[in-house]
C-alpha cells in the first residue's frame, strides 16, 4: 500500500481554554501513538460535547479513531505508522480539511463511547451501520460492504452453526455486530468475549474456542494470512455496510464528511484505496463486491 510518512508531534495546544489531557498525536503524516487508551485532545469542544467543523479547522487538528491491531483495515506497521484501508481514507480527510490528524487507538467496544465523550471527532474503525448504533451516533455515507463470517481450524471446520456442540464456545469481540447477532439469534451458543482484536486472535490461535465469528472481511483475511484455518461460513446474516461516524448532532462535520465522501466516490477513490491496501489480501475478485463508492 502507499506509505504515508509520519512525524511524531506532541499535542499540547490550548484552544479557547478548553483542553483535556492530551497524548502524543499524529499529524496527517504522523507516527502511531504509543498510547492505547484512546486519550485525545478535546480542543475547542462545544457545549454540545463535540467539536464543530469550524472548531476543528481553528484547532488545526482532527481526532480520528482507528484500529491499531486490525490489519489490513487499521493497524500499526513495522515502522510504527498507522496504515490500512481506513487510515488511507483518514489521510485524505485530513488533507482535504487542511488539518493534521491525531490518530486515536480504538477498540470495537469503545467506538460509541469515544464519540460521545469527545475523545474523537470521527470514527473510522470498520464500523458497521446498524439501527441500534444509529440511535447513538450519526453515520455518514457507507464506503464498504460487509457481512458476518465464521472461521475455524482445518481439522474441525464449522460450516453451519448447527455443527456446534452444547459445550463449544465461539470467540467474538465485544461491541461487534458478531456478538450482537449471535446473542440475539443464537442465545444458546456460548460466546467467549474479548475486548481487543489481538486478544481474540491469540485466544483463537491457542484453541480457546472452536470458531471465531467476526466481519467476513476480517475472518477471510485471517484465514488467508494464517495456514491451518478455513472460513466455513463466509456469509452469516444480512449484508451490511461500513461507514464513518460522528457524534450525534454534529451536523456541520457530518455534512462536510458526506460531501467529501461523494466527491471521493466520483473519483473512484475507494477502488484506489482497495488496490493500495486490500488487494494483496483479498485479490481482485473481491474488489467490486466489497467496495462502495459513496453517492447522493
DSSP 161: G
pLDDT 10s digits, 171-227: 999 999 999 999 999 999 999 999 999 999 999 999 999 999 999 998 998 999 899
Taking the CA atoms of residue 246, residue 250, residue 253 and residue 258 in that order, the dihedral angle to the nearest 10 degrees is 70
Per-residue model confidence (pLDDT) at position 32: 53
pLDDT 10s digits, 258-278: 999 999 999 999 999 999 999
* Of 49, 246, 73, nearest in space to 146 by CA: 73
Its CATH architecture, for the domain 53-143+243-290, is 3-Layer(aba) Sandwich (3.40)
* Residue range 147-240 in CATH 3.40.190.10: yes
What is the domain partition of the chain in residue ranges? Answer: 53-143+243-290, 147-240
pTM of the model: 0.77
pLDDT 10s digits, 4-40: 433 333 333 333 333 333 333 344 444 454 344 444 4
pLDDT 10s digits, 65-123: 999 999 999 999 999 999 999 999 999 999 999 999 999 999 999 999 999 999 999 99
- Round to whole Å and give the CA distance between 108 and 175: 5
Flag whether pLDDT at 137 surpasses 70.
yes
- 147-240 matches 53-143+243-290 in CATH topology: yes
CA angle 65, 86, 136 (to 5 degrees): 45
pLDDT confidence bin for 237, thresholds 50/70/90: confident
Amino acid at each position: 500500500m502507499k506509505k504515508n510518512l509520519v512525524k511524531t508531534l506532541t499535542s499540547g495546544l490550548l484552544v479557547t481554554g478548553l483542553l483535556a489531557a492530551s497524548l502524543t498525536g499524529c499529524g496527517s503524516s504522523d507516527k502511531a501513538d504509543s498510547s492505547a487508551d484512546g486519550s485525545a485532545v478535546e480542543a475547542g469542544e462545544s457545549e454540545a460535547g463535540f467539536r464543530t467543523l469550524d472548531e476543528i479547522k481553528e484547532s488545526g487538528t482532527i481526532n480520528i479513531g482507528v484500529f491499531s491491531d486490525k490489519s489490513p483495515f487499521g493497524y500499526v506497521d513495522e515502522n510504527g505508522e498507522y496504515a490500512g484501508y481506513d487510515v488511507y481514507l483518514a489521510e485524505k480527510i485530513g488533507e482535504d480539511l487542511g488539518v493534521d490528524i491525531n490518530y486515536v487507538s480504538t477498540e470495537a467496544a469503545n467506538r460509541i463511547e469515544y464519540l460521545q465523550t469527545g475523545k474523537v471527532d470521527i470514527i473510522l474503525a470498520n464500523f458497521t451501520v446498524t439501527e441500534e448504533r444509529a440511535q447513538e451516533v450519526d453515520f455518514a455515507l457507507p464506503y464498504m460492504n460487509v457481512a458476518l463470517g465464521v472461521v475455524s481450524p482445518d481439522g474441525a471446520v464449522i460450516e453451519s452453526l448447527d455443527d456446534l456442540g452444547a459445550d463449544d464456545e465461539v470467540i467474538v469481540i465485544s461491541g461487534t455486530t458478531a456478538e450482537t447477532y449471535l446473542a440475539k439469534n443464537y442465545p444458546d451458543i456460548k460466546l467467549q468475549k474479548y475486548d481487543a482484536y489481538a486478544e481474540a486472535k491469540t485466544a483463537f490461535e491457542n484453541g480457546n474456542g472452536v470458531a471465531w465469528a467476526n466481519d467476513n472481511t476480517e475472518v477471510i483475511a485471517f484465514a488467508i494470512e494464517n495456514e491451518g484455518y478455513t472460513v466455513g461460513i463466509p456469509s452469516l446474516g444480512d449484508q451490511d455496510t461500513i461507514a464513518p461516524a460522528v457524534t450525534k448532532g454534529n451536523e456541520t462535520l457530518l455534512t462536510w464528511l458526506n460531501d467529501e465522501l461523494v466527491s471521493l466516490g466520483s473519483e473512484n477513490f475507494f477502488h484506489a484505496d482497495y488496490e493500495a491496501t486490500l488487494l494483496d489480501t483479498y485479490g481482485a475478485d473481491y474488489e467490486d463486491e466489497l467496495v462502495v463508492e459513496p453517492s447522493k
